[in-house]
């Protein structure tokens, strides 16, 4: 039970659990830095950037998007940040354990004097490939804008981490229980301002330039540019509550309903808990079938999970391995519940590349990998009398391949019809 209401309107079991947050006036909003502002856009994020441009780049600039090379938007440039086990950055962009391991980088030739950000050489800055931003030694471009050597580094290098109780990273720099709690209190039911109004052409807190509200609290030009909500894929907390928090039981979700109100007219509560005009795609189960079963499928409640399993009553849950168990937590996480990485792979035509893009972060088990042999992407051309040298320099340029995960909600409704005569 949580009978005590704190000054910030959260409910707790004991008054000592109340945070030391400032109580703002009725027409003010509590900013991420614990000051009071006239509006959310007038606040500053924890890194001192304005909430309109909350992401701070390596050069100190504040941008509305962390990284947006694919989206034609105003974001930070790509960065090379080395992991703890290889902390030294060499001139060619490679990260090594000791500076003595760095290779000497030869200077650019006279005919190609300019060094591009991917460490290749070109005639001038204008001749550099704008989408080739990572060097060959760090060929993976993570969705955070960090160049990495391995896909698993995308979750640790240059990425803010949050405690288990508040696992979600907000654009403001705060950690929250779900995307809903990245928003200021007065916006959690979908109203844009203190008078309860909502502009029906764009989401709460956004504007006509970037009208779509993402789960981290930032706004983007297109809804598909937002990272999809991760959903509740941990079998320890398999219930998707209405406020976007993952709960261990249905009772926990029922109690959380007391923390949120109804969405304002013209909006509806999405899977991440935020009230929007149109809900974005998401991973995991939906609000209508909020429980993730041990086999990876979604159900309305545990009875539906157990009922579909055809297991004995004392072991009602069927795991993905077909084993029947008494407690769903005893099951291994099905492969279908692992989210893929959103990366861009910079491929040299002379090097074979291996990429593991589905991994279990706890065990480092690899579930899916991609191997691209050297020369595989060079087009096939044949010499002739009129063209004895059919290849040109552009055929040997690096190639970028983007691996973008498809949200579960885009494919769960798809079916493969079997023809009647089969």
pLDDT for position 373: 86
Where do the domains of the chain lie? 291-337
pLDDT for position 217: 83
pLDDT for position 191: 64
How far from 27 is each of 6, 31, 40, 196, 250, CA to CA, in Å? 19, 13, 11, 12, 36
pLDDT greater at residue 375 or residue 289: 289
Nearest-10 Cα torsion for 333, 335, 339, 344: 140
Give the SS3 label for residue 250: helix
- pTM, rounded to two decimals: 0.79
Q: What is the mean pLDDT of residues 305-323?
A: 82
Of 37-46, 113-122, 128-137, 166-175, minimum mean pLDDT range: 128-137
Q: Calculate what percentage of the chain has a pLDDT beyond 90.
A: 14
Nearest-10 Cα torsion for 286, 314, 335, 223: 10
pLDDT greater at residue 28 or residue 12: 28
pLDDT for position 386: 84
Q: What is the mean pLDDT of residues 104-112?
A: 89
pLDDT bracket for residue 197 (50, 70, 90): very low
Q: What is the mean pLDDT of residues 30-42?
A: 85
299 vs 306: CA distance, rounded Å: 10
pLDDT greater at residue 333 or residue 190: 333
Tens digits of residue pLDDT in 356-379: 777 665 666 777 778 888 888 888
How far from 297 is each of 328, 337, 341, CA to CA, in Å? 13, 9, 21
Per-residue pLDDT at 280 exceeds 50: yes
Tens digits of residue pLDDT in 218-274: 888 888 888 889 899 888 899 999 999 999 999 999 999 887 888 888 888 999 999
pLDDT bracket for residue 195 (50, 70, 90): very low
pLDDT greater at residue 395 or residue 169: 169
**How many angstroms from the chain centroid is the CA of residue 143?**
7
pLDDT greater at residue 164 or residue 271: 271
pLDDT for position 176: 92
Q: What is the mean pLDDT of residues 196-225?
A: 78
The overall average pLDDT reported for the chain is 82
* 359: β partners: 366
pLDDT for position 349: 80
371 vs 400: CA distance, rounded Å: 14
Q: Calculate what percentage of the chain has a pLDDT beyond 70.
A: 86
Q: What is the mean pLDDT of residues 59-74?
A: 79
Q: How far apart are the first and last CA of the chain?
A: 57
Per-residue pLDDT at 136 exceeds 50: yes
Of 129-143, 256-270, 281-295, 354-368, minimum mean pLDDT range: 354-368
308 vs 318: CA distance, rounded Å: 9
A 10 A CB-CB count for 344 gives 23
Tens digits of residue pLDDT in 9-21: 566 666 656 666 6
pLDDT for position 33: 85
Out of 71-80, 150-159, 319-328, give the one with best mean pLDDT.
319-328
pLDDT bracket for residue 198 (50, 70, 90): low
């Amino acid at each position: 039970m949580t009978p005590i209401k704190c000054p910030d309107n959260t409910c707790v079991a004991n008054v000592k659990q109340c945070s030391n947050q400032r109580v703002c006036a009725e027409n003010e909003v509590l900013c991420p830095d614990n000051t009071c502002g006239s509006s959310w856009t007038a606040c500053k994020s924890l890194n001192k950037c304005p909430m309109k441009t909350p992401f701070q780049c390596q050069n100190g600039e504040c941008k509305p998007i962390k990284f947006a090379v694919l989206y034609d938007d105003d974001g930070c440039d790509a960065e090379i940040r080395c992991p703890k086990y290889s902390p030294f950055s060499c001139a060619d962009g490679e990260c090594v354990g000791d500076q003595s391991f760095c290779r000497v980088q030869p200077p650019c030739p006279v005919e190609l004097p300019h060094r591009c950000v991917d460490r290749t050489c070109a005639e001038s800055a204008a001749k550099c490939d704008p989408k080739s931003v990572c060097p060959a030694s760090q060929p993976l471009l993570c969705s955070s804008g960090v160049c990495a050597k391995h896909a698993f580094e995308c979750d640790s290098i240059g990425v803010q981490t949050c405690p288990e109780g508040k696992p979600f990273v907000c654009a403001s720099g705060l950690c929250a229980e779900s995307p809903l709690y990245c928003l200021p209190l007065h916006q959690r039911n979908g109203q844009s301002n203190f008078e309860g109004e909502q502009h029906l052409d764009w989401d709460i807190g956004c504007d006509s330039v970037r009208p779509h509200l993402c789960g981290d609290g930032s706004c983007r030009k297109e809804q598909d540019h937002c990272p999809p909500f991760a959903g509740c894929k941990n079998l320890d907390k398999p219930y998707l509550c209405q406020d976007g928090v993952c709960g261990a039981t249905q009772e926990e979700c029922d109690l959380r309903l007391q923390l949120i109100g109804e969405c304002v007219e013209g909006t509806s509560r999405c899977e991440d808990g935020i009230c929007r005009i149109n809900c974005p795609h998401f991973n995991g189960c939906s609000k209508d079938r909020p429980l993730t079963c041990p086999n990876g499928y979604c159900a309305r409640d545990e009875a539906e999970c157990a009922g579909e399993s055809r297991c004995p009553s004392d072991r009602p849950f069927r795991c993905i391995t077909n084993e029947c168990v008494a407690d769903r937590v005893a099951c291994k996480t099905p492969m279908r519940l692992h989210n893929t990485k959103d990366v861009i792979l910079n491929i040299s035509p002379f090097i074979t590349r291996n990429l593991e893009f589905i991994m279990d972060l706890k065990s480092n088990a690899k579930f899916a990998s991609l191997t691209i042999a050297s020369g595989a992407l060079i087009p096939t051309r044949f010499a002739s009398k009129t063209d004895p040298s059919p290849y040109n320099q552009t055929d040997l340029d690096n190639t970028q391949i983007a691996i973008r995960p498809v949200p579960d909600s885009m494919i769960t409704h798809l079916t493969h019809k079997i023809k009647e005569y089969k």
